[in-house]
Chains A and B, each alone.
Chain A
Amino acid sequence: MELSAIMKDKLNAGDNVVALHEGVLLQGWSPKAHRLLALVERNLSFGLFVFTTSRNPPQAFTDLTINFVVPIDSDFKCDIDSLSAESNSDIYINLSARNFKLFMGMDSGHETNHFFNELSRSMDLYLKNQQTLDFQWLKKYNINDIDLELGLMMNINGDNTSNNIITANMAVAENDISFPTGTQTLSSRESVIQRQMILSEEQYTNAQNFRIYIGTWNVNGQPTLSSLNDWLTCDSEPPDIYAIGFQELDLSKEAFLFNDSPREEEWLQAVTKSLNSKGNYKKVSLVRLVGMMLIVFVKNKHMDHVKNVATDTVGTGIMGKLGNKGGVAVRMDFHNTSLCFVNTHLAAHVEEYERRNQDYQNICSRMVFSNFIPPKTVKDHNQVYWFGDLNYRITEMDAISVKDLVRKNNFKNVLEADQLKQQHRAGNVFKGYKEGSINFLPTYKYDPGTNDWDSSEKNRAPAWCDRILWRGNSIKQLAYRSHPNLLISDHKPVSALFESEVRVVDLTKYRKIHEHIMKKLDKAENEYLPQVMVDNTEIIFHNVKFMEPQLKELTVANTGQVPVQFEFIKKLDDSTYCKEWLRIEPFMSFIDPGEKCDITLEVLIDKKSAYKMISGQDKLYDILVLHLDGGKDIFITVTGNYERSCFGCSLETLCYLKVPIKNIPFGKLMELENNKSNMTSDPYPVPKEVWYLVDHLYRHGLKQEHLFEHSGLRSEFVQIRNWLDNGTPDALPGSVHSVAEALLILLDSTSEPIIPYNLHATCLSAVSYYSQCKQIISQLPERSKNVFLYLCAFLQELLNHVNDNKLDVKTIASVFGEIFIRDPPRSRSDKSGHTRTSMSRKKTNFVYHFLVNDQSDLIINTSF
């Protein structure tokens, strides 16, 4: 089915899909959050719908969930940001409305163009038809599932309409958890919850009407009157809220320069006394800047629902600073609705309407309640009441005609010439504000103490300087009037009474929704934890052989919603994340959602680990900890069996082995290695493996050039190893070079070198004296001494053939010096290059003695 047809099924009958488009929410939690936008029309009013889809593309209307519906009205704004598109062809779109802000990316193209053309057309249509439009049809869409991504989006983009007040002492004990995105903290979670609560406001609040009384009076610096009842209690029913503004409260120098005025208290007293006596009021706030003062009262019984009260003042007088002109404001949350009262005194003089417009703009941008994060401005409130001596005059009409017309109550014609009406209509000031119709005499300028027009020689046209405007939904003006009986000033006071709809919280519903949101967030947080699958948690290496690497693959697949960083980590007191015979490549990496990473595990038992395997100090067993950054750990067990080999066995053990090592049980070997075996049979004087190799070299290699200098072949080494370990009847395979190397490796793989580590220091200090060197050798353990002398005898024989094999005694002494007096593991790197060279020289010299001197005296003493 066509998508628009599916969409039509989802919508109520009579609602038409005008345009459809897909976009991606940006900066949300998940890398890609697709949303479907639809522009829907009914009787020329438009709404923007945001959908999620459970299947892509959707097959039936059940695959669509409506996340959000916003009316295309005066609050709706749409900015297309093509500048921020850097590398790709995406465009970025900012959509905003009351309690709603959406930042999306779309690919630039024909469809996107079409969608936004339709959207801007609908916005134009709204401006043309706004009086007649009805958006009730949108309310029929119940949005009961909260779109988390949307909520997060708004959080990140800093929507100003929320109650985002930072509370101190949030002792967040967030010790060892790091979330994948790195930015999600408990506190941002808290603001997500707040945002979500605001989004679902309709579900836990009820609309309730309250009466709001607004009063404004330019008192021309006069001292207060004893009673203001005519002004403040002209309605029989007491209002719920009073907001009363004064201008020119005090014209003294002190007030101007020091913002200090005794009039403040005087007028406060007078006002307090004159509030409707049928109501009990409490002062919420008083704010004054020079002569501009604003006092807000709320009925006592509502005080518990007044929160987050804040004030600010803006001076727009000389140099745009001083407070003889400007504004003062009080904001508060009343139940669940934010209210802002702004009392201003704009620039004077008849012709200066542009200055007045400018003052208005100035106050709009500079009036900031900065205790909020993000700071709130006037427009960030559900309801704004803006009043004061706005100072707009009547121009294009002479004073006589004005006076004449207003005497006949013909206000309409005069108001045509009212600067505020004109400027408002032209969109130059008070955009989005409304004013009720004026059915009272101009409030300026009178001769003080009378109801007579100003009689001074200026003879200005009377004007409605003192005005009350409002902005916000569901506000009904009940009265708008002046109070001519108050005579002290050259202005008359003005007041308005409103019936305003305020969202009142239903606590039971509130708790339920709050809980629901918490659950959703928990769920999301759990879902957004890194998740992977590994194809194998038990990796088995079969028949691992000495010096033969084996590889296995492990696949880690990112099955979660967020990119994963994994790493193999050390466990307990280990110094490395795996045993020395294991190599992991890569041991750390990133995987994007839906992607995989192949990890290679390589096992290699070489001379460093072979003797540990034989003696049981170590075994082919390791548990690896695969750690996901910000998430779980997976244990991967590595096991296998090691095929025993003569390589890695001690010379002592080998001497007791009369059969190939293959035929010796592992347990027996271990006993031998740990000297726990009582071998009855006589040992060989030297291991048969040493003998085989030396004998082979003796017979085939005496005349070979570069013996012990050229390396052998890996493949031949494997054959030689198998031959030694399995004991085959065939001849020893491999070239003499490979055999020579096998001999060196055999001697190099024992846990202790022929000259045990504890004798090394003695050896090296004895090198100058052959007799001392001989002394040391004679005291070696039996088998080590035998092997040493046996090899020296063989090397002497080798050196008898220097004419053929071109060998050099120093070179041979050096090669065997490193073997006989092998450095302990990990000691080489500790020493400086200089020490190392001098040690190598000493080792060479030590062996040299035994290659050039006759040792029959030593040999005689052995059982050889």
Chain B
Amino acid sequence: MAKKTYDLLFKLLLIGDSGVGKTCILFRFSDDAFTTTFISTIGIDFKIKTVELQGKKIKLQIWDTAGQERFHTITTSYYRGAMGIMLVYDITNEKSFENIVKWLRNINEHANEDVEKMILGNKCDMDDKRVVGKSRGEGIAREHNISFLETSAKANINIEKAFTDLTLSILNKTPGREPTDVPEKINIDRKSDRLSNRCC
């Protein structure tokens, strides 16, 4: 029986204009479901999902933000502490793509310096209504040295991959947290003090 030796908690954040599909992306990833009813997110919400990567169990706490203009200043206060940020635009909405630059600026001003970023061009199932070419997405990602994927929450394209890639890039730059393997035999350290280390 494989014994768990390690646990990590990563905080991820989804940002982008209202209506680009942030909530749907999160819902697809956490519940493997999709709904077409659009209920605008009025606030900040999160979901939990545990993934196993490179033999480590990683708990993702994924924050979904309100995209409306009037909440922009408030939502920036939630950037702090995020280890990974997904910037989402809608390939059928030019404006949402143009605003990516604005969102990037927001990140630079408010997020941790070493935050991992990723750009997602969502709704790629709607090719007939596409107004933002894939190459433009790739272009802006290259320009800022960020990885890029086109996704569809509806058709479940690249959703899992997007989260896995982002998680991996966070994981791979945390060398200080390399786990020391615990032998399978019994460990005498009964009262580990991990509870007291927890800060909430």
Contacts and interface: CB of A to CB of B under 8 A. Distances in A.
Contacts of B173: none
B6 to A, nearest CB: 7
B49 interface: yes
Contact of B43 (A165, A523, A632): A632
B70 A623 contact: yes
A452 interface: no
A307 B194 contact: no
Contact of B190 (A308, A371, A529): A371
B184 A308 contact: yes
Interface in A170-188: 170-178, 185-187
A198 to B, nearest CB: 10
B73 interface: yes
Interface stretch (B7-15, B88-96, B125-133): B7-15
Nearest to B51: A518
**Among A167, A170, A310, residue most surrounded by chain B Cβ atoms (within 10 Å):** A167
Interface stretch (A377-385, A611-619, A633-641, A823-831): A633-641
Contact of A169 (B5, B11, B77, B200): B5
A53 to B, nearest CB: 24
Given A523-B31, A526-B48, A571 B43 contact: no
Interface string A508-540: 001000000010011101100100000001000
Contacts of B188: 371
Contacts, number: 138
Nearest to B32: A519
B173 to A, nearest CB: 14
A478 interface: no
B74 A171 contact: no
A637 B5 contact: no
A655 interface: no
B9 A173 contact: yes
Given A526-B47, A635-B42, A371 B186 contact: yes
Given A170-B194, A190-B4, A371-B188, A572 B11 contact: no
Contacts of B6: 169-171
Interface in B151-195: 177, 179-180, 182, 184-190, 192, 194-195
Contact of A175 (B9, B180, B190): B9
A165 B187 contact: yes
B54 to A, nearest CB: 15
A625 interface: yes
A310 B50 CA distance: 32
Contacts of B190: 166, 370-371, 373
Contacts of A197: 1
Nearest to A168: B189
B44 interface: yes
Given A521-B50, A522-B49, A522-B50, A170 B43 contact: no
A78 interface: no
Nearest to A531: B45
Given A633-B43, A634-B42, A178 B200 contact: yes
B66 interface: yes
Interface in A330-382: 336, 370-373
A580 to B, nearest CB: 19
A532 to B, nearest CB: 11
**Among A170, A309, A310, residue most surrounded by chain B Cβ atoms (within 10 Å):** A170
Given A308-B186, A522-B30, A634-B42, A167 B198 contact: no
Contacts of A529: 46-48
A572 B77 contact: yes
Contact of A176 (B44, B74, B81): B81
A505 interface: yes
Contacts of B1: 163, 197, 307, 336, 505, 510
Nearest to B63: A632
Contacts of B189: 166, 168
Contacts of A372: 186
Contact of B4 (A167, A175, A626, A633): A167
Contact of A518 (B8, B42, B50): B50
Nearest to B81: A176
Interface in B1-30: 1, 3-11, 30
B74 A572 contact: yes
B61 interface: yes
B43 A169 contact: no
Given A166-B190, A307-B1, A185 B198 contact: yes
Contacts of A373: 190
Contacts of A623: 70-71, 74
Contacts of B42: 537, 634-636
Interface in A187-229: 187, 190, 197
Interface in A276-321: 307-310
A175 B81 contact: yes
B187 to A, nearest CB: 5
A525 B48 contact: yes
B48 A167 contact: no
B77 A571 contact: yes
A632 B185 CA distance: 41
Contacts of A631: 45-46
A317 B156 CA distance: 70
B197 to A, nearest CB: 7
A174 B3 CA distance: 20
Contacts of A163: 1
Given A169-B179, A572-B73, A625-B74, A632 B194 contact: no
Contacts of B185: 307-309
Contacts of A537: 42
Nearest to B49: A522
Contacts of A186: 7, 9, 59
A167 B182 contact: yes
A177 B61 contact: yes
Contacts of A308: 184-186
A632 B44 CA distance: 6
Contacts of B30: 522, 526
A521 B49 CA distance: 9
**Among B7, B47, B52, residue most surrounded by chain A Cβ atoms (within 10 Å):** B7
Given A169-B6, A170-B7, A522-B50, 15 more contacts: A167-B3, A171-B6, A171-B194, A172-B9, A172-B197, A186-B59, A310-B186, A371-B187, A521-B50, A522-B30, A526-B48, A571-B74, A632-B46, A635-B66, A636-B42
17 contacts: A168-B187, A170-B4, A171-B7, A171-B194, A172-B8, A172-B198, A173-B8, A174-B9, A175-B11, A175-B81, A178-B200, A185-B194, A197-B1, A307-B184, A309-B186, A529-B48, A632-B46
Report the 7 A-B pairs with minimum CB-CB distance, sorted nearest first: A178-B200, A632-B45, A634-B43, A371-B186, A633-B44, A167-B182, A635-B43
